[in-house]
Amino acid sequence: MAQGLFDLTGRRALITGSSQGIGLALARGLAGAGASLVLNGRDSAKLDAAARALRAEGAQVETLPFDVTDHAAARKAVDGFEGAQGPIDILINNAGMQHRAPLQDFPADAFQQLLQTNIASVFNVAQACARHMIARGAGKIINIASVQTALARPGIAPYTATKGAVANLTKGMATDWARHGLNCNALAPGYFDTPLNAALVADPAFSDWLEKRTPAGRWGKVEELVGAAIFLSAPASSFVNGTVIYVDGGITASL
């Protein structure tokens, strides 16, 4: 009985930004729990390579390349897939970007790009999927937030703003859509060794600071996000809505 609470057999998951890093790790983890996968990204070559690797591991994988920042493109892609292939039961809004600069010098175009990539994409893809989920009376939406949803650090104020917005947009989704059978939650990673953090991982001074600042004393491994993602995707979280789960080694719990 308890094992069935975390069984994703027969469910299909769309994961945006899933050709590398956290998105790819979550795709691999959900496949291990029984889900079939729909990978999304803008780089078709990287997407195809990720799909081949996952298929070689036994996963059932399809690809759906589209630009998550384009509202019309997201809706067309999701509607087309649902019509031709069937339901998307789980959405993980993982696509995101970072830009580091002192706030007083932060380029306006980079700020706008962050808004589109980190916030508008969440709205675009969630709305496209939710229309179908609402009609079926069921669906799981997981938005990838961040430790910066709760905390700030010098040089990334606009990123921090976008991730705070992701948390509140998640609450809004739950408020509007829970009555239709959807579970809308956010997963907030701490500092993980990913391509997005490559510059920080390569900086010995930053890694030393992070290890001292984090109660767990180390960088996170992307595989350590899988358990929380499966929980939020599975029947186990049937009455969990509008919640942000931090997977951060304790950094948000400690001064």
Cα separation, 10 vs 239, in Å, equals 21
Cα separation, 82 vs 72, in Å, equals 15
- For the chain, count helices (H), then strands (E): 9, 7
1 in helix, strand or coil?
Answer: coil
Buried/exposed 208-234: b ≥16 CB within 10 Å, e otherwise: eebeeebeeeebbebebbbebbbbbbb
Active-site positions read: 159
Residue 72, judged by CB atoms within 10 A of its CB (0-12, 13-18, 19+), counts as: exposed
Contact indicator for 110, 131 with CB cutoff of 8 Å: no
CA 197 to each of CA 92, 188, 200, 211: distance values in angstroms, whole numbers, following the listed order: 20, 15, 5, 15
